[in-house]
Amino acid sequence: MKNVIITGAANGVGKAIANILKDNNLILIDINKENLKKTAEAINAKYYICDISDDKEIANTIEKIQVNYKTIDCLINCAGMWISGDLSKMEEPIYKQMNQLERVKKVIDTNVFGTIAMITTIFPIMKEQGYGQIININSQSGVMCEPPFPIYNASKIGANAFRKAVQNDLAQNNIKITDVCPGLIQTDFYKRANNELPEKIMNNGLAPEDVANTVRFVFDLPHEITIPSIEVRSIKNY
């Protein structure tokens, strides 16, 4: 049984990952208190409410976790936010609302800063224990800009660049890191941003469990084997 932190575990992909890894000591993190409690209680996991875009909340949460856990075997960064809209569409009410600069900042702070902050906070713990594994739920939008979602692309490509830039240093400390990059997934991700996609498009996406199975595959590899980046898509939405 490994000690595994999962962010964004209240809903969607993070919840599916928690369910598939429930035979481990899970430490679930999310900003959505109500759903986090439900997810954690259903599988008897520990949970911490934490906004990963806030460095002080991260520091407090990890400090509390360290009281109960001597090691962190794996960190899974899954929390993320959606944002869409070309610059030329910004005057349309739906995009204007979604792209208020305050919200743009929150997306960048969650998708890029949150991922970087979780890794930099956990790194000294993994370095000290002499091993570790990090899995980031990135995106097809972190690999290419087609179709373009400029701010979301910038956030996911930024997180992807960070992973590429640190993977060698991490490997020298016996810590491996993987970006799992899925295409469209059938979760409430878009609905939460008031940008619900048509049902016929959503129906062609991956199930959250498909992404969780990919994470399980990466998680179960022998420690000496690492996959830097893995793309996963539904053949119906290629």
Ligand X SMILES: NC(=O)c1ccc[n+]([C@@H]2O[C@H](COP(=O)([O-])OP(=O)(O)OC[C@H]3O[C@@H](n4cnc5c(N)ncnc54)[C@H](OP(=O)(O)O)[C@@H]3O)[C@@H](O)[C@H]2O)c1
Q: Contact positions toward ligand X, by CB under 6 A?
A: 7-8, 10-14, 30-32, 51-53, 78-81, 110, 114, 137, 139, 182, 184-185, 187-189, 192
Residue with Cβ nearer ligand X (128 or 188): 188
CA–CA separation, 219 vs 206, rounded Å? Answer: 19
Element (H, E) at 25: strand 25-30
Cis peptide leading into residue 147 (ω within 30°): yes
Q: Are 136 and 75 in contact (CB under 8 A)?
A: no
| Contact status, residue 211 vs residue 185, Cβ threshold 8 Å | yes
Q: Tokens 């690492």 map to which residue?
A: 226
Question: Which is closer to ligand X, CB of 100 or CB of 223?
Answer: 100
Q: For 147, what's the count of Cα atoms within 13 Å in the CB-facing half-sphere?
A: 7
- Minimum separation from the CB atom of position 5 to ligand X (A): 12
Position of tokens 């000290």? 128
Residue closer to ligand X by CB (options 114, 132) is 114
Distance CA 203, CA 200 (A): 5
Give the residue with the Cβ less far from ligand X, 88 or 238.
238
CA–CA gap between residue 97 and residue 44 (Å, rounded): 38
CB of 53 to ligand X, least distance (A): 4
Phi, then psi, of 91 in degrees rounded to 5: -85, -15
Residue with Cβ nearer ligand X (53 or 178): 53
Q: What's the min distance (Å) between Cβ of 155 and ligand X?
A: 8
The minimum distance between CB 174 and ligand X, in angstroms, equals 26
> From the CB of 69, what's the least distance to ligand X, in Å?
19
Shortest Cβ 179–ligand X spacing (Å):
10
Q: How many residues does the chain have?
A: 238
Please say which residue, 51 or 73, places its beta carbon nearer to ligand X: 51
